[in-house]
Amino acid sequence: MKQSKPVARTSGIVVLDADGETLVYDLNVSEAHCLNEAAAFVWKACDGHNSLDDIGRLVKGRYQTSEPEEFVWLALDQLSERKLLAVDADRKPRHTSRREMLKRVGIASVAAVPVIASIVAPSSAYASASCACVNPGACLTQTQCPSQVNCNASGICAP
């Protein structure tokens, strides 16, 4: 791997770690991304200090994968596509697709493959109908929600 040092984006996002996943909300484009544990591990390793080789070693130690370079590139490609990196890694000329990687690592390692699921946040009209909030005041008019006084850490008018 080249000695590129990717950097995870920290501005314009809200991050919540929950139940082995990391939820990242991009305030700039109103998109929510759910990083599984493996994708989050790589993203958090992108601190500007770790080279791609360093991240590969960390991945190999954590997941005992026989393909740490492909594992890292798979995660970096997804992070880059979703604009979750402030500094992208230097692209290598050719890397393996998710399908090819799964064939290489085998079914036993599938749970450790980095995956990011993304959705576009609903418009404000839909958000108000779905109990979404940014502060407790937004819950006052949402009588259909479990709480009209509490905007919880997940951004929902609920206890």
pLDDT in tens, 81-122: 999 999 887 766 555 566 666 666 554 455 567 888 888 766
Contacts of 136 (CB under 8 A, 6+ apart): 149, 150, 151
pTM beyond cutoff 0.75: no
pLDDT digits (tens, 9 = 90+) for 35-51: 999 999 999 999 999 99
Looking at the predicted structure, is the pLDDT value of residue 138 above 70? yes
Q: Which pLDDT value is given to residue 2?
A: 44
Q: Which pLDDT value is given to residue 22?
A: 93
Domain ranges, ordered by start, for the chain: 7-120, 122-159
Nearest CA to 117 out of 29, 22, 11 is that of: 22
Tokens of 155: 């951004």
Lowest model confidence (mean pLDDT) among 32-41, 53-62, 63-72: 63-72
DSSP 3-state assignment of 157?
strand
Radius of gyration of the chain (CA): 18
Nearest CA to 78 out of 34, 25, 125, 115 is that of: 115
Tokens of 145: 């929600």
User: What is the rounded CA–CA span in Å between residue 98 and residue 149?
Assistant: 44
The average confidence (pLDDT) of the chain is 81
